[in-house]
Amino acid sequence: MMMPAASQLSSPHLLGIEGLSPAEIELLLDLSEHYVKMNRSGNKKSDVLRGRTIINVFFEASTRTRTSFELAGKRLGADVINISPEVSAVRKGETLLDTALTLDAMHADLLVVRHPESGAVQLIAEKVRCAVVNGGDGAHEHPTQALLDALAIRRRLGRLHGLVVAICGDILHSRVARSNMLLLKTMGADVRVVAPPTLMPADIDRYGVSVFHDLAEGVRDADIVMMLRLQQERMRGSYVPSIAEYFHFYGLDRAKLAGAKPDALIMHPGPMNRGVEIDSDVADDINRSLIQEQVEMGVAVRMACLDLLTRDLSTNQGTGQ
């Protein structure tokens, strides 16, 4: 597929996959490849972000995403600090925007923001002068997760176009699903979503995806089976009746996977609930599971995002007192 090559992103922020062109996605993935190589080499450190300040602002608990962003920033030579406003200023009554402006005044070059409310990251991006990367907002978007998933797929199968990808599980509450649907559809994949009706958002087919309520049917002839995490509090009768029933009908095991392509790959954004949405037998199959590779790709993809978003950024002068 021919597309105009991009050398930079059209937006100063990465708030979502929505709005990214195929060329921009290719650019991010290609640059990520470069960082995969670097991360696997002896010298993992570069200085492209030397002198830059990155602040990871996580309003919602996270270990793997925050660590991944932190490592990405540090490997590029930036100064990285982590703050969790949920346990500091916000408790003291500071508003979201006050927190953002405070950080901006400290001359940060880039904020990585995760927030439990959809749209909160965009709200911050509108108020600050530095670049903002969405580290996950509510049930809206988690763009770096979709990019790392795409990178893991592309490295294994050589393409995204024309692949059959089944995204399975709690679609309703999942920002990972939304970002992945957008990215995979943009890149020409054939995307399916599989969930019990109580965990399927309304009009989901408007994403151009096909909707299934039966896991075995949904994964039939799939190249990729992407499982989503089911939050514990959603299993106790309000959305699904029990863990036992969920695993029986929507947990990925060998039997349900049988109809997928013989070499179909399994993905999961982590952390996994073994015995809830995925059987260990499948999750740990080194021939089919991309789960460890996804984690590795995460660091490289975030390096590419930080790199691209700070390239043309003039030093943040700020107006702090």
- Would you please indicate which residues are annotated as catalytic (active-site) residues? 64-65, 92, 114, 142
Choice between 2 and 202, CB closer to another protein = 202
Pick out residues in 41-60 that bind another protein (CB under 8 A).
Answer: none
The correct pick among 245, 263, 281, 312 for binding another protein (CB under 8 A) is 245
Report how far residue 227's alpha carbon sits from residue 224's, in angstroms, rounded to the nearest whole number. 10
Q: Does 129 bind another protein (CB under 8 A)?
A: no
Which DSSP string corresponds to 184-204? Answer: HHHTT-EEEEE--GGGS-TTG
The correct pick among 241, 255, 280, 320 for binding another protein (CB under 8 A) is 241
The correct pick among 4, 93, 158, 237 for binding another protein (CB under 8 A) is 237
CA 214 → CA 26, 170, 193, 231, 278, distances in Å?
33, 13, 10, 20, 15
Report how far residue 57's alpha carbon sits from residue 86's, in angstroms, rounded to the nearest whole number. 10
Q: Does 198 bind another protein (CB under 8 A)?
A: yes
Choice between 12 and 201, CB closer to another protein = 201
Q: Does 234 bind another protein (CB under 8 A)?
A: no
The correct pick among 73, 85, 196, 298 for binding another protein (CB under 8 A) is 196
CB under 8 Å to 194, separation ≥6 — which residues?
166, 167, 168, 169, 212, 213, 214, 215, 217, 218, 219, 250
Window contacting another protein (CB under 8 A); options: 133-141, 146-154, 219-227, 234-242: 234-242
Q: Does 239 bind another protein (CB under 8 A)?
A: yes
Report how far residue 124's alpha carbon sits from residue 231's, in angstroms, rounded to the nearest whole number. 27
Closest approach, Cβ 247 to another protein, in A, equals 11
Q: Does 244 bind another protein (CB under 8 A)?
A: yes
CB under 8 Å to 166, separation ≥6 — which residues?
192, 193, 194, 212, 218, 219, 222, 224, 225, 226, 260
Q: Does 164 bind another protein (CB under 8 A)?
A: no
Q: How many residues bind another protein (CB under 8 A)?
A: 16
Report how far residue 165's alpha carbon sits from residue 114's, in angstroms, rounded to the nearest whole number. 26
β-partners of residue 212 are 194
Closest approach, Cβ 141 to another protein, in A, equals 25
**Which positions lie near another protein, rule CB under 8 A?**
196-198, 213-214, 236-242, 244-245, 248-249
